[in-house]
Copies of this chain bind each other. A is one copy, B any other.
Amino acid sequence: MYLTELPLDLGALLDSVQSPERGGVACFLGTVRNHHGGREVLRLEYSAYAPMVEAECARIVAEAESRWQVAVALRHRIGRLEIGDAAVAVVAASAHRDEAFVASRYVIEELKRRVPIWKREVYADGTVEWVGLAGSGAAGQRGSSVVNAA
């Protein structure tokens, strides 16, 4: 299971991939920032197309583990998150630190590019907005032209 509604447990992810043969462990944590596009963020809510998240994350992890000699752990949290909460954690363990670094980077970049997860940011001025990455369609960088919630 790559999705969870519970706080991410980095220690458990580390335990799941560390072994006496793998001396190099690279990790990445993505945490909720308090600002976005110049506006103050109070909290946010992640939602997902859960079955595809599971399928796509499994593909990404399999790609990394076949390209490099690594064991990869990956978890993304959904639901309501507060500032500073970890939304995503990637761990890659390898006998070679170069492979651990490269694989962890690959996994987070591919996750951002391919895994169907969305977030709604709640701003200090009371507005709420869907946030999206550029280049995924004409709706563009921000969902504000599509949705104006309150």
Contacts and interface: CB of A to CB of B under 8 A. Distances in A.
Interface string A7-44: 00011001000111111111111111111000000000
Contact of A18 (B84, B100, B101): B84
Given A18-B84, A23-B32, A30-B24, A97 B101 contact: no
Interface string A59-87: 00000000000000000000000011000
A101 B95 contact: no
Interface residues of A, number: 30
Given A20-B83, A105-B101, A31 B27 contact: no
Contacts of A122: none
A28 B25 CA distance: 6
B84 A20 contact: yes
Interface of A: 10-11, 14, 18-35, 83-84, 95, 97, 100-101, 104-105, 108
